A and B are shown apart, each in its own frame.
Chain A
């Protein structure tokens, strides 16, 4: 759990006549944002070191005039207020930090000229690639040229020619002509990804972003450079030429690669997902995400996707499948294998089903080494959801040895598997044969092949849900695309199953489910799905303080001292 921030030392600054109190040291670009003033920039990024090289954020800076002899404020007779000494040279906003009495002007003729100048300079060697450039629609050069450029070109010389289609690495394509040499990618690779592999070669206007010949930008965070590149120099090879961004719908979601719970945006059009990008959360992932998390949307249309409800190998309607499943479940000796990848709502419903039929519950652990950045050692995004909902009371193991033994001993005759492949968790084909299996999940696998009832459900991209990350932060994910034809929403399946085995009749919509969740689970009291903020809600974790969670340190997370 991160410490609550110390109370900041506030200073009052004046930006274009608007006064605001900001923490001392806040840079002018951020301070201006707070009063609704846009200070255009390229090289500045809130999560990277300040370099001040684009010169687009130039602003006029002034400080209150004080008589050096008497130390008294100098008053301007024209308006009776303290005179402001405006510096003749404009200053970069990113490199100017708030101090008491700082005055900033961004709307003067000089600043207008500065911006037009920088825009003109950036465009003179920039190729006319907009029609074929992926960045169009989210390109800072386009936006700022429109907002602050002069609108016409005076350049009639030959533009510089540079390499245009370099495969910088397995996932990133580089077009050096478009590069504005802001160095964001270099700073990111070196300081955040800790992979010092990018640099500028040659000099002056011929400077070129490069990798050392023979080396590649191949680390698992390489695509962040594409996100932060303000122009179309660095682009995603996967996304190249696929879709114009203005056609894409953006949905806030949560990455399920690990318990870090990186915040994401899922970009889709007409039911197809085209890419995933990180969503800023200063408490979880800053503005970053691992490359491996971005490809998770491919599971939606993967060949292994289950798309037909089946009973005993034959296509069936949902009602029939629910009835058939309920028959098996009511018999008794049921083990429920839930998932650390299911949402809190699904785990809640799973627990209710377990209570209704007195079944044992477990989930399957996914442990792998964390990368100390945005992938934790727990590759289940929602182990803590299972704990908070009571689905489990201790940390899971990767192999279901107890269940296997119970099956061999005849103590378990039916297994309800929710999105977990029992074979991968250690059960043998013989053991799968010994039990009746109801499989509720997304991808086909040995378990779904052996199951008597198969109900295909939704990936995280096709439903609403919440997940509790390693910080015990409850974060919500929203439906990006409709479920693939033939699939059913997990909550619909689970509420129907619950009703069919004699449990409560609950509506499956998420708002109503949350009425139940907030009523029945102490740490979720008072919450509703709508009210969960986009940056999440940190829940109490004292109840679980004695558990030896596997996660080590990652960005914004330090594990609690071992119990």
Chain B
């Protein structure tokens, strides 16, 4: 049974992977939660249709930050078709935590940035 905040979630919050910005990213989108103030900007550098580099930056809660960090790992090396197919459940399960319904939007904020970024890129 998943714990409230798994070791994976806490590790990605304390030591976020791929944190920072890219020089001239091909895809960039900043998503925010208007009430709690979580803000995540996701940036991707593409090599044709493959994600060469993924970065994120933002001030957000532990769940959002860990989800963004995990998402950048899922994105790196994947092609546009594959990243467009990443589902809500795929990202939430990667957190290995018991994400309550009220906190799903925190976990899905980076995915929203990805989807909005992809739709602007098309």
A binds B: no
A residues lining the B interface (CB < 8 Å)? none
